[in-house]
A and B are shown apart, each in its own frame.
Chain A
């Protein structure tokens, strides 16, 4: 039997993206003992890839003078197809200007207007140009700023540590177990509070803008520990991902004036959202593109054109330099000269670990924030520019809530962590000892393809039932996967196997939630139930894993001052 290393901290944060770093800095500012665990160096987190910007009603834009937190909240609630919890949205919209100013004070180099104020651009579904940005590298700039803050604050980071399980004691979270990727050793972490800030699960879909590391680790860890996942059927498909690699082509490209053309060279958005056109919310534009392609009006039956050529070289280089570089590097297209081939691809998870605005989940000691959480501020469809905002607002609020409560929590018993270390050690040994069976790559690619085909932009009962059967079959085969390499140092095949396990746990949650929701709302679009059904489904889906069985329950939506109406753009 191995002796395992044990680390004891008051608070442990899992995930080193914007949410995790913001929470960590907050905890350190409150003088707390906190450590951050990340499976990659924090700067390699997916936050770095966010492009277009962060929403805040600063009113810096010449047309934005009448903007307000309330209008930001209204746009967010309407964009959510009224599924967002209005109290949480109000918190986010109110905190937004402070959060952006704080990031500026921390050192972020935002793009500026001539008067020196932070520049703002129009974004989909927003009544005013509200999206603050750093060219088209906003996530990169914010992540580097927060990493700088964390370094200056002396944050302890367990880098390239992969969390395999949470540890619970009497239905409280008391820590986690993590694999040191560099040595292959398991480490125990005992903590009074654990914050999940692990991001999304985009890699469950064949076409995704997400980083390869986005495998839903946090959501699956929570589900396994008995915490419900909320609204997981709401999956955002970004309308404009680069054909071929599905790398994100920011909404900012349309915010700066880019057009979408079909193969008849028509701005087809006039058929779908005649007022908002290309700046309708993402769910609407994604469906429009998918419909055009399916009707034979796309190119190569795969994509449409995102045309920036009329914007001119200067504007493209100033406002969209990253987009230009990506289009040239990955599609061989210079957007100054030619339109960019784009198609919808999975981009964001509106659903996640059921949590409140202070990060708390139904399980004492366990917190969640950022994309892995569902507060819910995005409801059935997230507006562009609200996810960077979510990371810093709820990262900070979670950090503060944890800091406020730590004193009242007794030191957890490390015995439970030790027990879990042995269980996880045994599980991993068993996995590594199997030398024949199903190939990880096969299961993974079948899973991704079926999720995109059967639980994609458009859904119906027939294909979803078929998809669920396929998932059941895959689940059985997954139990028989093997890892060839028995190496302890950087055994990435083992990591892939564990990640696939997370994806395999999440897939049925998305699938069953989607099949049960017999309506169309936001990003959940059913051909057999094309209308929204507030009577039956103005509710949050809550998925629990109980004794290995997935069970769905429903919880009320927190309504407020914004009346539930039909959504038109």
Chain B
């Protein structure tokens, strides 16, 4: 297999692409391939990793011009043009248009997640992403004093909430959003989906106070519904739906 990997070092400020070629083991993931490079070919390669099981959200990166978790992406499936896995149709934005040429039938192109500054190689500075997360005040604000036992919740409410609590904050959506590409002040899909999660939590006040936290142009109103966020989410979270519903509620309230 051939891997073409983006390299960047802050000391020089220079970037380049390195080509690596080696035998892929059956079922090898992009993460495993990057570990193989670190272990055998170039130990200076930097990337984030932890669980290797698609739950911790560390290893989101741009793989063949699609933001994905490296641990969840199998090299062999990427190279199979008949697999719909390699055919995520995203609305175009600068990071996935043009750039380094590559042949998806022969090689895998691995680049850092777009829209966040690169620290080194595939490691990006998540500072802004988590700043937007903090901006939506991500903590349950119950509407009443805690009872002695749990607050009752309907299973249906839980099901609706799970669509959003499943988010692992990997920032794939942030790196896939054409609005984030052009407007660095836009809160982005993950923060807005998180905000919506608290809004619909039946334990909070049933008014629009939560939604008002992002009732401005770079909040709910920044979205252009390209829905790249939903397409790339490794947990099936639909920020676009949350944003749409939030807007309807805010309009009604005005």
Contacts and interface: CB of A to CB of B under 8 A. Distances in A.
Nearest to B69: A329
Given A44-B58, A116-B154, 11 more contacts: A44-B57, A49-B51, A49-B55, A110-B158, A116-B153, A141-B165, A144-B165, A152-B137, A211-B51, A490-B46, A492-B47
B207 interface: no
B51 A44 contact: yes
Contacts of A213: 49-50
A496 B35 CA distance: 11
A244 interface: yes
Interface stretch (A216-224, A351-359, A481-489): A481-489
A490 B151 CA distance: 45
Interface in A357-378: none
Contacts, number: 155
B25 to A, nearest CB: 10
B56 A43 contact: yes
A493 B140 CA distance: 40
A311 interface: no
A325 B47 CA distance: 24
B43 A107 contact: no
Contacts of B138: 148, 151-152
Closest 10 CB pairs of A and B: A116-B152, A107-B140, A485-B44, A441-B39, A493-B43, A490-B46, A152-B139, A44-B50, A104-B150, A247-B53
Interface in B44-81: 44-58, 72
Contact of A322 (B42, B55, B203): B55
A110 B150 contact: yes
B107 interface: no
A493 B54 contact: no
Contacts of A151: 134, 138-139
A101 B150 contact: yes
B92 interface: no
A106 to B, nearest CB: 6
A182 B11 CA distance: 12
Contact of A211 (B44, B52, B120, B121): B52
A114 interface: yes
Interface residues of B, number: 55
A534 B12 CA distance: 64
A514 interface: no
B55 A107 contact: no
Given A49-B53, A489-B10, A109 B161 contact: yes
A40 interface: yes
A114 B152 CA distance: 10
Nearest to B10: A489
Contact of A43 (B119, B152, B165, B169): B169
A550 to B, nearest CB: 29
Contact of A489 (B27, B120, B152): B120
Contact of A109 (B11, B55, B158): B158
Interface in B102-145: 119-121, 123, 126, 134, 137-140, 142
B91 interface: no
Interface string A549-562: 00000000000000
Interface in B142-169: 142, 146, 148-155, 158-159, 161-162, 165-166, 168-169
B155 to A, nearest CB: 5
Contact of B43 (A111, A148, A483): A483
B151 A104 contact: yes
A517 B165 CA distance: 45
A330 B203 CA distance: 36
Contacts of B150: 100-101, 104-105, 110, 117-118
A481 to B, nearest CB: 11
Interface in B9-44: 9-11, 27, 38-40, 42-44
Given A105-B146, A489-B11, A43 B44 contact: no
A294 to B, nearest CB: 24
Interface in A97-146: 100-101, 104-107, 109-118, 134-135, 137, 140-141, 144-145
